[in-house]
Structure 1
Amino acid sequence: MTHTATTAAPPQRVLLAIVTLPLLFGCGGGPFDYVPASGRVTYEDGQPLQVGKVIFKSMAPAVGGAHPRPAGADLNPDGTFDSVTSHKPGDGLVPGKHTVAIMFAVDENGNSLVPAEYTNIATTPITVDTADAPFQITIPRP
């Protein structure tokens, strides 16, 4: 009869692995830094857009195969937004340029409060740079 010995990892090694693996791989935030971002969305006549969500898509290139996460913030009734969130609540945006779309901006009858091209990140003409925060975003009425 052959006897095979098995050994368990010493408790110190298990503890070391538990502590160091999250540090090596992170918690899902990726290799990007974030900067606070806020701003205001108004129509060309200065009236605030009172409802909707501002969506940001970074123009930064991928780093190590990871792409920056899109970010978003809810509009307040005065047209302002803060607590822009990319990864963790209120962490902000990856530094640099972003395309901006405005979504969920509809009146009580379901009519869009912004032109259709502004509601799609692929067609929106809005761009911002985090160096210019807080942002003043001006849009035409539909």
Structure 2
Amino acid sequence: MNRCCSAHCIGLLLTSLLFGLVGCGQPVGPTSGRVTFSDGAPVRSGSIEFRSTVDRQRYASRIETDGSFHPTSQDGEVGLPPGTYDVVVVQIVLTEDLAKKAHTHGGTVPRRYADYYTSGLTVEVSEQTETVDIQVDAEGAN
């Protein structure tokens, strides 16, 4: 085998390996979702976190005033890969100095949703999942 042929074969091998590695990334699932109360009203403030039941990877997002969120990995990549996730919704409301009529945070999320052991929220994400909808009870609801 001559030197030219060897270099060509090595080049083809490296190119094949490069394309193989680029195409093997984990598929990213839904890049958005919405958190609502059981009556359909959006959760208007707080944050949401998803924790994989397999490898404990976490994806988090701030909740916007319309209830929407964009789950983001700790590496800054938006989207939830397929899998099963435990979910927490955390809402810190500082209202002690405000009159009740001045509250703009919307409904209050009960504290139980802020802990993986008590939230009771899970979600299954598949490659076909387009958005993730999470529903919580309002404070005082059963």
TM range (shorter): 0.5 to 0.7
Q: Contact 2:110–2:138 at 8 Å: present in 1 too?
A: yes
Give the match for residue 110 of structure 2. 115
| Structure 1 residue 130 corresponds to structure 2 residue 125 | yes
Deviation per CA, 1:36-95: give whole Å up to 9, x if none: 4321001111110011111111012xxxxxx3421101111100011x112322332242
Instruction: Determine the C-alpha separation between the residues in 2 that align with 1:75 and 1:98.
Output: 18
TM-score by length of 2: 0.63
Q: Contact 2:53–2:84 at 8 Å: present in 1 too?
A: yes
Identity in percent: 28
Instruction: Determine the C-alpha separation between the residues in 2 that align with 1:135 and 1:34.
Output: 16
Give the match for residue 63 of structure 1. none
Q: Contact 1:36–1:90 at 8 Å: present in 2 too?
A: no
Q: Contact 2:29–2:81 at 8 Å: present in 1 too?
A: no
Deviation per CA, 1:88-113: give whole Å up to 9, x if none: 2233224211010011x133416992
One-letter identity of the residue aligned with 2:76 = P
Give the match for residue 79 of structure 1. 67
Structure 1 stretches lacking a partner, 5+ long: 1-31, 61-66
Q: Secondary structure at the match of 1:118?
A: helix
Q: Secondary structure at the match of 2:65?
A: coil
Matched pairs, number: 103
Give the match for residue 49 of structure 1. 43
TM-score by length of 1: 0.63
How far residue 115 of structure 1 moved from its aligned partner, in angstroms, is 1.6
116-125 or 41-50, which deviates more: 116-125
Structure 2 stretches lacking a partner, 5+ long: 1-24, 97-104
Q: Secondary structure at the match of 1:117?
A: helix
Runs ≥4 residues deviating over 2 A:
90-94
Instruction: Determine the C-alpha separation between the residues in 1 that align with 2:27 and 2:76.
Output: 12
Q: Contact 2:72–2:80 at 8 Å: present in 1 too?
A: yes
